[in-house]
Amino acid sequence: MKKLVLIQLLLLMGISLWADEVKSPNDQLSLKFELKDGVPTYQLSFMGKEVIKESRLGLELKDADDLMGGFEVSAVEQSSFDETWQPVWGEWKEIRNHYNELFVSLTQTDSKRMVNLRFRLFDDGLGFRYEFPEQDNMTYFVIKEENTEFAMAGDHKAFWIAADYDTQEYDYTESKLSEIRGLMSTAVTGNASQTPFTEPGVQTALMMKSDDGLYINLHEAALYEYSCMHLELDDKNMVFKSHLTPDARGDKGYMQAPCTSPWRTVIVSNDAADILMSNITLNLNEPCAYEDVSWIEPVKYIGVWWEMITGKGSWSYTDLPSVKLGVTDYSKTVPNGTHSANNEKVKRYIDFAAEHGFDAVLVEGWNEGWEDWFGKSKDYVFDFVTPYPDFDVEMLRDYAKSKGVRIMMHHETSGSVRNYARHMDKAYQFMADNNYNSVKSGYVGDILPRGEYHYGQWMVNHYQYAVEKAAEYKVMVNAHEAVRPTGLCRTYPNLIGNESARGTEYEAFGGNNVNHTTILPFTRLIGGPMDYTPGIFEPDVSQYNPNNGSRVRTTIARQLALYVTMYSPLQMAADLPETYAKHMDAFQFIKDVAIDWDDTKVLEAEPGDYITYARKEKGSSSWFVGRTNDDQARTSKIKFDFLEPGKKYVATIYADAKDAHWETNPKAYQVKKYVVTSKSKLSQYCAPGGGYAISLVEVKEKNDIRGIKRL
């Protein structure tokens, strides 16, 4: 009998040599780590339901044996952590960081190389990463591929964009996982720079919903000195495997121990709102790296931008087919008459910003070089300090300062990253000398040096360098066409914005899907705020440019809602001042809405259909509500129980009119006022492509509510 038991034990050990389990603080999530025949694996379940089935972990190395198996456990530690921290800016005044941790130290038996795995299990999901400690047998190594698996428990519904080394500027496709391969040809649309890599590949953050009602989100956190991760799908077995962006030689990462990978994240709940409320991405990043953050502040701005995007105006000063910086004498050239960044126009924008309480005016196309900036693989394309003849830097600087407004700098690199790096110190010093404290940087087009990609390790390091260099000059950065954010704004809060997705500009390039803004908060915004540039009040682009037949697929009411639903500490009123002048009652919400928050609630949510947020203004008793709707007419039903009991508020509701429709009647809206309390309820119609916005201001005097109906 003893001999039989021993044989059974040995057989069991042959299958599984070591296993451990950790639960989330609320016991709803369970992580199981197992070393099976020397191969590290993990599983994740939520309230007894499989989220991630048994999935393998490991890395392939270049010119060295792989780190895929042959391991034994050297040490195991379990611990708990609970803190509350305050972000410099954000959706909450305070954020709780509470998790249970499993740390596993592995040693490869033959090579004696060491790899550590660190798992952190939160109430709303999991974060885990590879750690490479200092050791004699592995210091420098090159990653051929990271083979992290995410084995899904079913053929889930997914909201996805095609995997691409250079862009995320695609519309989202909603489909079953098994349908991704067949839909890829229509999911990949034209872009200024794009490199889709494989038929069944998608990008993170990936949002899914299982047949039994679980919402699952896959992403990464703290992408630092590493390559951006995509997900390659085995659509027969429903297993995702990590796929890192290569460099020009096809290598995936150059590493020097001690070092770590980014965190791989799985957010899960049976309530879609919990995905939006999760702070896993931020919590897996390091605390703020700066001692002094007094110079970092949210920005509400307008800009000389939309008229150029629509084709009404131009970035370039002349129509010359070829220019050379320092050689072309612009004082002797013939202006094209369409250059938007001119003194007279910028002064008008400054006046408008000052009159309506905006912090800054973004001016693109102010500097020499825009005539042949794109598509020429041109190295010395901009110098970031030399203005066109019709843009007087000192005069406009002083004029803006006299009005209490700043001008926002624009640094377009045209993908010539070496050139930008050469000029960066001089460019930031120029900003400091001329009262610019924020910059919109751009990386349109293929990367120079040739062969590098926007999302490879080399570029990830560049974006990080730009943010840290900017901090030396007390400059805030809003990077466009950069790698998607992964919560690094916690550590480097001067990274106040990113694009890294298909934004409002595409409404002038043919249009975004009507449900686009009902998906982005579940995908792109999981990593950090997006400079989406909402506030378009003239949806018919031909009104600005008769040669552009694009239509903004939204109602005006939903444009207002986006200031609440598309979180960012950097918010733009993107349309033209003369257009806002026609709708000053609706424009009032843009003037009033906050951009920094003490609290955030999700009142309704279903990815691809609708999202309703309520947010409390930082340092104020005022709340703001926003609802973005898909292409179906719906009725939103919310409670105001987030308001402080016993107090009254004036609710100003900016809503779709009954006959509103994004395509046939987008400008139809109504503005109504009610007195509400924490016991009030609202049933509000939302048009196709519509929504609503609400400002809630605490009543201080009885006279403030005289004649206003109660809700």
What positions carry a catalytic annotation? Answer: 505
CA 358 – CA 378 distance, rounded (Å): 36
d(CA 689, CA 705): 32
Nearest Cα residue to 415 out of 574, 191, 145: 191
Q: Which of 299, 281, 297 is nearest to 490 (CA)?
A: 281
DSSP label of 213: S
- Cα torsion through 311, 313, 318, 322, rounded to 10: -30
- Contact between residue 303 and residue 572 where contact means Cβ atoms under 8 Å apart: yes
The β-bridge partners of 78 are 102
Before 205, cis peptide (omega within 30)?
yes
**Helices 393-402 & 343-356 angle (0-180, nearest 10):** 20
What separation in angstroms does the CA of 142 have from each of 69, 446, 450?
18, 24, 21
Q: How many residues does the chain have?
A: 711
Which structure tokens are listed for 10? 């040995």
Helix (H) or strand (E) holding 580: helix 577-580
Q: For residues 442 and 415, what is the distance between their CA atoms, to the nearest angstrom?
A: 8
What strands, in cross-sheet order, belong to the sheet with 59-61? 59-61, 140-146, 253-256
Task: Give the bridge partners for 654, in sequence order.
Answer: 671, 693
| DSSP character string of 301-345 | EEEETHHHHHTSSBS-SS--S---TTTS-GGGSPP-S-BSS-HHH
Backbone angles phi, psi at 69, to 5 degrees: -170, -175
Full DSSP string of 86-106:
--SSSS-S-EEEEEEEEEEEE
Give which of 250, 224, 233, 146 is closest to 182, Cα–Cα.
233
413: its two tokens: 């690199």
Residues 298, 283: Cα–Cα separation, whole Å:
21
The Cα-based distances of 514 to 34, 69, 215, 662 in angstroms read 44, 47, 22, 8
List the structure tokens of 480: 């466009």
DSSP symbol at 480? E
Rg (C-alpha) for the chain, rounded Å, is 26
Provide the 10 A C-beta neighbour count for residue 136: 8
Among candidate residues 613, 598, 615, 531, the one with its CA nearest the CA of residue 570? 531
